[in-house]
Amino acid sequence: MVTFTVSGRVDMREAVSVADAFHRRRTVDKAIWDFTSADTSELTIRDMLAAYGPERGFRPSARRRYTAILVRDDLQLNLARVFQAVAEMKGSPVQFGFFITARQARGWLESMTAERQIRAMRRAR
């Protein structure tokens, strides 16, 4: 599991670029993006669309990843859900969860690992 901590004004293209560069070097199935210290006040839906613009595509066979988005308030929570909708429309292999506390985020990521293990055991039968 890896945690990305975002602070200052958020630039969605830069954030996605950092994540892509990281994932090209390492295989990580679970991540936490901590936006609790970030300034998201200037983000727009256009920023969300730009992050998953037409040049960005995902292979259908891309490995499933789980990302917990950690936010400080309901406004950020709703903004994160817009990001999720855009990512799903673009075919992202990432499943998102949204949380106010790091404990909730880690618990969800751990449950995703357990769920995946159960599915694998059922397929093996």
Note the pLDDT tens digit of each residue in 39-89: 988 887 777 776 665 555 555 545 678 889 999 998 888 888 888 888 788
Edge-to-edge order in the sheet of strand 2-9: 2-9, 30-39, 65-70, 94-99
If one compares 111 and 123, the residue with the highest pLDDT of the two is 111
Nearest to 73 by CA among 36, 115, 102, 34: 36
Which amino acid is residue 23, in one-letter code? H
Give dist(CA 109, CA 111) in Å, integer: 5
Please state the domain extents for the chain: 2-124
Q: CATH code for 2-124?
A: 3.30.750
Give dist(CA 70, CA 76) in Å, integer: 9
Q: Please give the share of the chain, as a percent, with pLDDT higher than 70.
A: 79
